[in-house]
Amino acid sequence: MLTDSEFQYRAGTLFCEDVNLTEIAAIHGTPAYVYSKRGIETKYRAYEEALAGISHRICYAVKANSNLAVLQTLARLGAGFDIVSAGELFRVLKAGARADAVVFSGVGKTAEDVRYAIENGIHSFNCESEAELHLLSEIASKVNTCISVAFRVNPDVDAITHPYISTGLREHKFGADIGLVESLYECAMKLPGIRPEGVSCHIGSQLLDLKPLWEAAEKVLALVRRLKRSGVPIRELDLGGGLGVPYRGAEHGVSVSDFISGLRERLAGEDLRLLLEPGRSIVAEAGILLTKVLFTKRNGQKNFVIVDAAMNDLIRPTLYQAHHEIVPVVKRLDAGHLTADIVGPVCETGDFFARGRELPEAGSGDLLAIRTAGAYGFVLSSNYNSRPRVCELLVDGSRVHVARRRETFEDLIRGEDLLQ
Ligand SMILES: *Cc1c(COP(=O)(O)O)cnc(C)c1O
């Protein structure tokens, strides 16, 4: 069941909250990402409510959707943030968030990234290797500070998701081997500028089964107990993000409250603060990509619906073989059905949103909504084929806020120089 309840039909026309999507298209043009502010807030609050009584902080994973207005919406609710680059920290601070609620993840932090984050006073680093540990120690000592560090451990758990978004097996580049990490903590205890106070892990994304998450939590908790016994003052446990959302009509997402109640049992009596880094499960269902049909055509046995959005705007179908439901913005009662490939104008065979999809007959000028596009949508977009990036609109009740204006041709060449 799709649970993007902020997108509902009223008298046959799709709305985002109280705004008619045909009006949005008329005023702001297409393609356009449309986000529901209430949808984002509802998902965030579901985590907060489930975590009541547990010492915790929710650090929204910025990479899922880093629009300033989205970050600001979450910052106002008291969210912390999980960043993977200095650029993401820059955004988070611009959005009005507190630096001391930010954790820094990522397998390849540069010295410049680390310095910028330390200067801005972030909460902690999720460290992925011994070499990184030395870098953190060196930079922190140089500026006479002491930073909180958690090792990201790799618990060797199969997350059972798409291979490109699975990260928790020993063969992946992420984290430190859970069997070898204790020597890294020993090393960290002796280094200046470093307080090893946490353990973190993140086993993958779009997980639709809670078992791997609990298995990882148990393995990591056993590690925490071993570390505490040997004198490492672990106070925080960061279990990453990864909760899946339903992309198909028939699919069920995982329930945040089931996940947290499973954690609640396992964490009882542990005296740890829990950090979580949800990205997709906060924003995916709160967004759609609004697009217009340009042409329809038939090549041999195949029908094609050519729309004005393309793989450069939403690459998930191409990159992850991801499924997105695609629905007409205006339901026509007399429309028959056709089976078609829904494709964009980019010169790549991989430029498709759906293949062999059954949908109500659509013609030039009709609007379609590509659903569940709030996460890993705009953030992965590019200017390929010199296509200006689309606008992002944040709907709040009956108001539409232009969260990012559509790029112009001038934007396309910004920073480029002709030869003299
Ligand atoms: C991508 C990522 C997340 C967020 O994952 P979602 O599946 O979007 O919840 C959290 N933590 C880390 C370290 C990540 O790389």
Say if ligand 1 is within 6 A of residue 277 CB. Answer: yes
Say if ligand 1 is within 6 A of residue 64 CB. Answer: yes
Task: Kindly report the average pLDDT of the chain as a whole number.
Answer: 94
Asked whether residue 176 carries a pLDDT value surpassing 90, the answer given is: no
Say if ligand 1 is within 6 A of residue 152 CB. Answer: no
Question: Is 347 one of the catalytic residues?
Answer: yes
Average pLDDT over every residue of 299-316: 96
pLDDT band at residue 390 under the 50/70/90 scheme: very high
- Taking each helix axis as running N to C, give the angle between helix 68-76 and helix 86-94, from 0 to 180 degrees, rounded to the nearest 10: 60
pLDDT band at residue 24 under the 50/70/90 scheme: very high
What does the alpha-carbon distance between residue 206 and residue 220 come to, in Å, rounded to a whole number?
20
* Predicted pLDDT of residue 165: 64
Per residue in 137-153, pLDDT (tens digit) is 999 999 999 999 999 99
* Predicted pLDDT of residue 84: 97
- 74 Cα: distance to centroid of ligand 1 (angstroms): 16
- 279 Cα: distance to centroid of ligand 1 (angstroms): 6
Residues 6+ apart with CB under 8 A from 260: 47, 50, 51, 54
Say if ligand 1 is within 6 A of residue 212 CB. Answer: no
Would you say 37 and 393 are in contact if contact means Cβ atoms under 8 Å apart? no
Among the atoms of ligand 1, which is closest to the Cα of residue 64? 8
Would you say 172 and 154 are in contact if contact means Cβ atoms under 8 Å apart? yes
Per residue in 72-112, pLDDT (tens digit) is 999 999 999 999 999 999 999 999 999 999 999 998 999 99
- 83 Cα: distance to centroid of ligand 1 (angstroms): 9
Asked whether residue 408 carries a pLDDT value surpassing 80, the answer given is: yes
- 331 Cα: distance to centroid of ligand 1 (angstroms): 36
* Predicted pLDDT of residue 163: 67
Per residue in 51-83, pLDDT (tens digit) is 999 999 999 999 999 999 999 999 999 999 999
Task: Please give the C-alpha separations between residue 46 and each of 52, 281, 375, in angstroms, as whole numbers.
Answer: 10, 10, 17
* Predicted pLDDT of residue 386: 97
Per residue in 211-226, pLDDT (tens digit) is 999 999 999 999 999 9
Say if ligand 1 is within 6 A of residue 240 CB. Answer: yes
pLDDT band at residue 310 under the 50/70/90 scheme: very high
What does the alpha-carbon distance between residue 328 and residue 247 come to, in Å, rounded to a whole number?
17
Among the atoms of ligand 1, which is closest to the Cα of residue 204? 7
Least confident span in 98-102, 171-175, 178-182: 171-175
User: Which of 58, 105, 167, 207 for a ligand 1 pocket mutation test, highest count of atoms within 8 Å of Cβ?
Assistant: 105
Protein residue with its CA nearest to atom 11 in ligand 1 = 240
Which residues on adjacent β-strands are paired with residue 165?
Answer: none
All domains in the chain, ordered by first residue = 7-36+284-412 (2.40.37.10), 105-278 (3.20.20.10)
Say if ligand 1 is within 6 A of residue 66 CB. Answer: no
Average pLDDT over every residue of 30-41: 98
* Predicted pLDDT of residue 153: 94
User: Which of 153, 220, 277 for a ligand 1 pocket mutation test, highest count of atoms within 8 Å of Cβ?
Assistant: 277
What percent of the chain is predicted at pLDDT more than 90? Answer: 88
Say if ligand 1 is within 6 A of residue 282 CB. Answer: no
* Predicted pLDDT of residue 145: 96
Q: State the CB neighbour count (10 A cutoff) for residue 13.
A: 16
Asked whether residue 296 carries a pLDDT value surpassing 60, the answer given is: yes
Task: Please give the C-alpha separations between residue 291 and each of 28, 361, 386, in angstroms, as whole numbers.
Answer: 12, 15, 18
Q: Which of 16, 201, 347, 391 is catalytic?
A: 347
Say if ligand 1 is within 6 A of residue 61 CB. Answer: yes
- 125 Cα: distance to centroid of ligand 1 (angstroms): 15
In the chain, the amino acid numbered 303 is N
Average pLDDT over every residue of 393-408: 98
Say if ligand 1 is within 6 A of residue 242 CB. Answer: yes
Say if ligand 1 is within 6 A of residue 154 CB. Answer: no
- 323 Cα: distance to centroid of ligand 1 (angstroms): 19
Token readout for 114 is 């680390």
pLDDT band at residue 373 under the 50/70/90 scheme: very high
For the chain, the three-class secondary structure string (H helix, E strand, C coil) is CCCCCCEEEECCEEEECCEEHHHHHHHHCCCEEEEEHHHHHHHHHHHHHHCCCCCEEEEEEHHHCCCHHHHHHHHHCCCEEEECCHHHHHHHHHCCCCHHHEEECCCCCCHHHHHHHHHCCCCEEEECCHHHHHHHHHHHHHCCCCEEEEEEEECCCCCCCCHHHECCCCCCCCCEECCCHHHHHHHHHHCCCEEEEEEECCCECCECCCHHHHHHHHHHHHHHHHHHHCCCCCCEEECCCCECCCCCCCCCCCCHHHHHHHHHHHHCCCCCEEEECCCHHHHHHHEEEEEEEEEEEEECCEEEEEECCCCCCCCHHHHHCCCCCEEECECCCCCCEEEEEEECCCCCCCCEEEEEEEEECCCCCCEEEECCCCCCCHHHCCCHHHCCCCEEEEEECCEEEEEECCCCHHHHHCCCCCCC
Least confident span in 11-20, 247-256, 390-399: 247-256
- 241 Cα: distance to centroid of ligand 1 (angstroms): 5
What does the alpha-carbon distance between residue 246 and residue 3 come to, in Å, rounded to a whole number?
8
Say if ligand 1 is within 6 A of residue 281 CB. Answer: yes
Asked whether residue 171 carries a pLDDT value surpassing 70, the answer given is: no
Q: How many residues are listed for the chain in this entry?
A: 420
pLDDT band at residue 251 under the 50/70/90 scheme: confident
pLDDT band at residue 253 under the 50/70/90 scheme: confident
- 277 Cα: distance to centroid of ligand 1 (angstroms): 6
